[in-house]
Amino acid sequence: MLRIPSDRFFARGVAALTLAFAANAAHALTVFACEPHWAALVRELAPHAQVRSATHAGQDPHHIEARPSLLAAMRQADVALCTGASLEVGWLPMLQSRSGNGRVQAGAPGMLMAAEFVSLIDPRPGAGGSPFEGDVHPEGNPHFQLDPKRMLSVAEGVAKRLQQLDPARRDDIQRRWEAWSADWRGRIAQWERKAAPLRGMRVAAQHTTFAYLWGWLGIEQVADLEPRPGTPPSAAHLQRLLEQTRAVPPRAVVVATYQDARGAQWLAERVGSGVPVLQLPSSVTDDGPTATLAGLYDQLLDRLLAVPR
Ligand SMILES: [Zn+2]
């Protein structure tokens, strides 16, 4: 669960950080991002910051090893920006406690959870949530980086907090936020026009990784390759999906780049002729066309639009 900081604790923390930065105006914030899309967002809003992503797009963000290099990065961080909603519950609390870094403990102003700035779909109260019960997400689906409108809300919240933590660059961050949000709104309108033919498309997919993207674009996920959230596809479950979807097959079977595509391939080969497997990035990559947030969305739309009709 997220702990909401008391106003006093929060104000004290901001004041202490403000003093620390005032003493050295040239000091750039060191930012620890749990996932690469949050690192990309901070680079847009505060390019002077030293940003490091704890994970890359090829890794499953539910299951990350708390390696010594991550611990070292957490120790140095002025700010940590993570998803929250228990996505990182299996590894982030361990890094926070072992780092001994008061700036990034739960409730400190330097610890930002993007989930605080948005509403989540599909909450499942009482559904568990320990790393041993699968990726059930009782607080709601945490994969909201694939909704550009929620991304706008997160960006606004992050920009405001960075301004508080780095008052010497407040005006610069404000200008960048205003320019970025205007550009992003324009892109959303363009993406929505371009993606209109995707409305009503039926897909099978693994996990709820792309649920926000489907919701935004009007795509229908008719089957989940996971028999239970966080459990890899089993032969029996895939056989059931094949029988359920044979009459009206999905147009594509989608997995994230961090997921094993074998179950998707098995289903795609049997469910209908020419049904492709799409292995899509769910976060920004280190290089190539998906190395920026806008590039990630461009790529997702292009790949989906290229599926045969
Ligand atoms: Zn998940």
Rounded Cα–Cα distance for residues 308 and 251 (Å): 8
Q: How far is the CA of 149 from the centre of ligand 1 (A)?
A: 19
Is the backbone of residue 128 left (phi > 0), alpha (psi -120 to 50) or beta? left
Query: Where residue 244 falls among pLDDT bands split at 50, 70, 90?
Result: very high
- pLDDT (tens digit per residue) in 55-104: 999 999 999 999 999 999 999 999 999 999 999 999 999 999 999 999 99
> Two tokens at 58?
């090829």
* pLDDT attached to residue 134: 77
Q: How far is the CA of 257 from the centre of ligand 1 (A)?
A: 14
Q: Would 7-188 and 195-305 be classified into the same CATH topology?
A: yes
Q: How far is the CA of 14 from the centre of ligand 1 (A)?
A: 32
Q: How far is the CA of 153 from the centre of ligand 1 (A)?
A: 20
Q: How far is the CA of 48 from the centre of ligand 1 (A)?
A: 31
Architecture of domain 7-188: 3-Layer(aba) Sandwich (3.40)
Rounded Cα–Cα distance for residues 79 and 155 (Å): 15
Q: How far is the CA of 283 from the centre of ligand 1 (A)?
A: 13
Q: Under DSSP, is residue 70 helix (H, G, I), strand (E, B) or coil? A: helix
- pLDDT (tens digit per residue) in 104-141: 999 999 999 999 999 999 998 877 656 567 788 999 99
Q: How far is the CA of 208 from the centre of ligand 1 (A)?
A: 6
Architecture of domain 195-305: 3-Layer(aba) Sandwich (3.40)
Instruction: List Cα–Cα distances, 71 to 9, 95, 104, 286, in angstroms.
Output: 25, 6, 12, 21
Domain boundaries, the chain: 7-188, 195-305
Q: How far is the CA of 135 from the centre of ligand 1 (A)?
A: 5
What mean pLDDT is predicted for residues 206-228? 97
Residue bearing tokens 């009709």: 309
Q: How far is the CA of 60 from the centre of ligand 1 (A)?
A: 9
> Two tokens at 282?
């769910």
Instruction: Give the full edge-to-edge strand order of the sheet including 277-280.
Output: 220-224, 202-205, 252-256, 277-280
